[in-house]
Structure 1
Amino acid sequence: MKIVIVGAGAMGSRFGFMLKQAGQDVALIDGWDKNVEALQKDGIIANYNGEEIQQPIEAYHEDAVDPELKADLLIIFTKAMQLEATLQKTQAYTHNETRVLCLLNGIGYEDILRRYFDEDQIIIGNTMWTAGLEGPGRPKLFGDGSVNLLNLGKSDAAVSGAHEVIDIFNEAGLNGVYEKGIFYLIYKKLCVNGTMNGLCSLLECNMAELGATEANREIVQQLVSEIVAIAQAEDVEMSREEMIAHVEECYNPETIGLHYPSMYQDLIKNNRSTEIDFINGAIADKGKKYGIATPYNDFLTRLIHTKEELLGAK
């Protein structure tokens, strides 16, 4: 099986590294010139749980993909706002039986996937793996994790396709799990991303620093309440109290509290546009659809867009 990973940042590099180490035929595609140059020259040089390991790997710039390349499994790790443009380009190296796995933050991206692929080809997922990027071609891979997957289509072929991907992931130590309750996990993760990402970016702090402030608590509770209300409108059963407690676990400096969320790294550190429209913005859009008030999510979306403009984010 030819596996093509689009988006060779921290997470894309982790999956590429682990799959290649397990003997899979893997190619990476990315749009960052220096990253592609490093990958083509030296492969992935990973800080893998404190040990430096070099892994040669096939890599292409997104605008210079080998015309002979054809993906049997396409894994997408781009930013959500880049998904449409990414899918347009992938048509050159996919075929009618390509399975596409999307592991993006946020919600609503499955509607974009349906424009380019049949439902039986689409697998959606949620990953708990972590990774960082110390430089071009140099991911920092630490800790343990898992990947929860579910086929979007309902046919036997769609189900078997998802299980085949899980088997491949398990052989590579990626801990794949077939998860019928995937939308619960997606909304659970959204509760964290919908609070920590936007607030830490606006206030320019890590999660422990945010949690140490008293004034943030009502904001977090209101954001989570709106997310839970949308989840329930889509027949995803969630407890508001459990989700608030789950978010507050992020404040612990002995676990992940000292971490700066990905949106902070994009906007504050690297001056890049954010995924806010697929996180809080998506909740606000669904609120309009279902007639549910989402003022906190709508306001946070507008504040992040305002900060993007002030910083000239691209």
Structure 2
Amino acid sequence: MEFAMVGAGAMGLRYGVLLQEAGNDVTFVDTWQPNLDKVHQQGGVYVSRDGQGRHLVPVKLVTPETYQGDPDVVIFFTKQMQLAGFLKRCAHFFNDKQYAFTCMNGMGHVEKLQQYFADDKIIAGTALIATVLNGPGDVDFMGKRGAGKMNMANLTEKPDEMTHRLFDEFKKAQMNPTLTTNFKGTLMTKVVFNSVMNTLCTLFEMQMGEYGNFEKAYDLSRQLIDEAYDVCERAGITLVSTRDEELHALDYNCRVTMPLHYPSMYQDMVHDRPTEVDYINGYIAKLGAEHHYDAKTHVFLTNLVHLSEYHRANLKQAREKQAAQTETVHTSR
């Protein structure tokens, strides 16, 4: 199959490289100039696994404006706040025969995809696959080959021939897909997972395993999960796991599959990039408000993450001001 991978960050590179290794034609489409420059300079992307075996994988990487392919599937792995801009710049190569697929974090992306693709051409899902972008053109796949899993569902909840073809390609790429017919419930189950793991690990700058070993981790997780499930029940969303199953999944991923992993929200925070908390905890809080339920804990955590962003921005500004003053003193001498 021919794929256009829109977004060549950590997850975009992982999906794209694995699909390419499984025999597919993959072109990466990105707008981050340092990434474009580095990949073109070195002739591909450097790939490691758990920090080991770093090697160069040749890839095709272009800007939206220079892409000239006609893919069967366009896969989107951008940050939520970047998607609208990517879609606008990529619209020239979209057509009514193509399918759109995404496993992006949070909620809000499907509505944007619907502006460019018909409902029966949209497939979305969730990925429990840890990946770290070390820098431009340098990615680290966390876990052994075949580690992690993903879920996928059609927006119409009616799998068709292309859905099964895509499922087969993900399976060949060893991404362990599961096909469901519960679209909103599939996506929201991952949002609930991230509302605990991403947010708390980011606020306290800790790996998932460290959180999982905290004696009160169960209580913290239970409070957030119960509140999120209460919201979903009021919104008429049936999640694909029970509350207890979600708690077990959190614990298992912390202790067994990804104990050394820092979630993507943490990676954004420490690199002074905007986080997606509004599309995760903030989305749960907003959905609750729409159904007359006050998700107080999720509101509180959303505001805490924004407070941390605000504090880090002030510190960065102060450091830059001090550096500029120091440079001025040295120059005057």
* Other-structure match for 2:196: 195
Deviation string 1:188-228 (CA, Å, 9 cap, x unpaired) is 32232101211222222223333454566544322111111
* Other-structure match for 1:56: 58
Counterpart contact for 1:106–1:278, Cα < 8 Å = yes
Counterpart contact for 1:127–1:148, Cα < 8 Å = yes
**How far apart, in 2, do the equivalents of 1:43 and 1:140 lie?**
14
- Counterpart selection for 1:261 from 260, 263, 277: 263
Count of aligned positions: 308
* Other-structure match for 1:244: 247
How big is the shift at 1:263? 0.8
- Counterpart selection for 1:150 from 146, 150, 153: 153
Cα–Cα, structure 1 residues 52 and 201, in superposed 2: closer, same or farther, change >3 Å?
closer
How big is the shift at 1:93? 1.9
Deviation string 1:164-195 (CA, Å, 9 cap, x unpaired) is 21123233333333222454443332232101
Give 1:1-314 correspondences, 5 Å limit.
Answer: 1-41=1-41, 42-48=43-49, 50-62=52-64, 65-66=65-66, 68-141=68-141, 142-143=143-144, 144=146, 145-153=148-156, 159-181=160-182, 183-214=184-215, 217-233=218-234, 234-237=236-239, 238-252=241-255, 255-267=257-269, 269-312=270-313
Query: What residue identity is the alignment partner of 2:258?
Result: I
**How far apart, in 2, do the equivalents of 1:132 and 1:220 lie?**
24
Cα–Cα, structure 1 residues 128 and 249, in superposed 2: closer, same or farther, change >3 Å?
closer
**How far apart, in 1, do the equivalents of 2:203 and 2:113 lie?**
30
How big is the shift at 1:300? 0.9
Deviation string 1:288-313 (CA, Å, 9 cap, x unpaired) is 11122200011111111222222229
TM-score for the superposition, normalised by structure 2: 0.83
Counterpart contact for 2:45–2:138, Cα < 8 Å = yes
Give runs of ≥4 in structure 1 deviating > 6 Å.
none
3-state DSSP of counterpart to 2:66 = coil
Counterpart contact for 2:152–2:186, Cα < 8 Å = no
Query: What residue identity is the alignment partner of 1:204?
Result: E
- The higher radius of gyration belongs to 2
How big is the shift at 1:83? 1.8
How big is the shift at 1:48? 4.6
Query: What residue identity is the alignment partner of 2:151?
Result: N
**How far apart, in 2, do the equivalents of 1:153 and 1:251 lie?**
33
Counterpart contact for 2:157–2:183, Cα < 8 Å = no
Counterpart contact for 2:126–2:152, Cα < 8 Å = yes
Cα–Cα, structure 1 residues 16 and 91, in superposed 2: closer, same or farther, change >3 Å?
same
Query: What residue identity is the alignment partner of 2:188?
Result: Y
- Alpha-carbon RMSD across the aligned residues, in angstroms, is 2.5
How big is the shift at 1:287? 0.3
Cα–Cα, structure 1 residues 203 and 61, in superposed 2: closer, same or farther, change >3 Å?
same
Query: What residue identity is the alignment partner of 1:292?
Result: Y
Which ranges in structure 1 are unaligned for 5 or more consecutive residues? none
**How far apart, in 1, do the equivalents of 2:111 and 2:25 lie?**
29
Counterpart contact for 1:81–1:278, Cα < 8 Å = no
**How far apart, in 1, do the equivalents of 2:274 and 2:13 lie?**
21
**How far apart, in 2, do the equivalents of 1:154 and 1:259 lie?**
32
Percent identical among aligned pairs is 31
**How far apart, in 1, do the equivalents of 2:75 and 2:298 lie?**
29
Query: What residue identity is the alignment partner of 1:306?
Result: L
How big is the shift at 1:255? 4.3
